[in-house]
A = this chain, B = another copy of it.
Amino acid sequence: MSLIVQKYGGSSVSDAESVKRVAKRIVETRKAGHDVVVAVSAMGDTTDELLDLAHTVTPLPEPRELDMLLSAGERISMAVLAMAIKGMGYDAQSFTGSQAGMLTDAHHGAARIVDVTPVRVRKALDSGAIAIVAGFQGFNRDTMDITTLGRGGSDTTAVALAAALDADICEIYTDVDGIFTSDPRVVPRAHKIDTVTSEEMLELAAAGAKVLYIRAVEYARRHGVTLHVRSSFSNNEGTLVINPKEGETVEQPIVTGVAIDLSEAKITVVGVPDVPGKAAQIFKIIARADANVDMIVQNVSAAATGLTDISFTLPKSEAQSVLTALRNERDDVKFASLQHDDQIGKLALVGAGMRTNTGVSARLFESLYDAGINIDMISTSEIRISVVTRADTIAEAARAVHTAFGLDGDVDAVVYAGTGR
């Protein structure tokens, strides 16, 4: 008998019928002899509808009240799911974030988990019941207020419960079959990955793979929780996200996947005096504008002028405020001009095998060159190489690299319409 934590997203519980289907799946897991804890998101578009309601009433809703409001969504889904399971003759009890001991800091809208004390969840399991826990929400002990965990919060709830309960596995149910070697809508020969390390998964998620949220993967990695990302619409095996121990060798291909991302823009600060402390000065300005900078590249200084260019990428939506912030400090920083490019695409090659294999970047650049694709920026980590190209060449680039590294499956992947939450 194992202890299994399952997470179901909003698209898996969009109406009464799908709640019943999910209840059946949970009951089947219980019937197989396992203890089951479920983290559930709000039904369908409930969270967005509640957000709309809030913004109809006031343009800037109070964060504390917004969390109170949004937390009603999971309260509905968890109670309905629990009564559906009860209706099938199996014992089930639902718990809010606070009842499940999901203790967070007081940062409304994006609270961090500080402790998980699932005493009542454990008691429910001991009594033979299935425990249904509200995803996405927590509780701050100092203010005694309800908090929410922000985007992907239900994934984090599931992983945190799995860690605190020492679960055997944390199953993340979504509307795709698992993690793919690339986006099947762009690369038809992309195929599902059977196993990926959490380290690789982090790089893939950071590079644009949308199925899992970085925060949940980080939490799983830190606490050694094994994830199983799978579809709630089939019984197929999905993708295992594992945490090999220090020194443990896992048979892995050199390259696990090719992630692409069209959501970023590039800003270049042109003609920056090449003196110590300049980069720090620039990125302090950017940090004050609350921007999430991704890649940073500084060109070699042209000896004649003593000037250099600094380029960085960031989410498109944050570009304008950063441009304004930099312009306001131009006299201080003494740069020549700013360039803004929102027609870029990012491609990231990820694989733990890169560590011990040479020539990966050479093969990457060669395959792009063969496809006639120009590289704009390059950035590398231990197990990832990212390149920025023109947005309109990104699909061709992904297909070329996918083929060059032997990732192509035998058949085209089936593409689903929906997106995970």
Residues on B with beta carbons closer than 8 Å to the beta carbon of A99: 144
Interface assignment of A20: CB less than 8 Å from any CB of chain B = yes
CA distance A72 to B87 in the complex (A): 21
A57 engages B80 (CB within 8 Å): yes
What is the oligomeric copy number?
2
Interface assignment of A53: CB less than 8 Å from any CB of chain B = yes
Tally of A interface residues using CB under 8 Å: 39
- Interface pick from A32-40, A58-66, A234-242, A316-324: A58-66
Interface assignment of A83: CB less than 8 Å from any CB of chain B = yes
Q: How far is the CB of A2 from chain B (nearest CB, A)?
A: 26
Residues on B with beta carbons closer than 8 Å to the beta carbon of A144: 99, 120
Q: How far is the CB of A294 from chain B (nearest CB, A)?
A: 34
Interface assignment of A56: CB less than 8 Å from any CB of chain B = yes
Select which of B19, B50, B64 is within 8 A of A76 by beta carbon.
B50
Select which of B19, B20, B66, B93 is within 8 A of A79 by beta carbon.
B66
Q: Which residue of B lies closest to A99 (CB)?
A: B144
Select which of B69, B76, B82, B84 is within 8 A of A80 by beta carbon.
B69
Q: How far is the CB of A43 from chain B (nearest CB, A)?
A: 9
Interface assignment of A231: CB less than 8 Å from any CB of chain B = no
Over the window 76-109 of chain A, the binary record of Cβ atoms lying under 8 Å from chain B Cβ atoms (1 yes, 0 no) is 1011101110110000111010010000000000
Known contacts A64-B93, A65-B92, A75-B75; 19 further A-B pairs (Cβ under 8 A): A53-B76, A53-B80, A54-B79, A54-B83, A57-B84, A58-B83, A58-B84, A59-B87, A61-B83, A62-B86, A65-B83, A65-B93, A66-B83, A68-B96, A69-B75, A69-B79, A69-B80, A71-B75, A72-B75
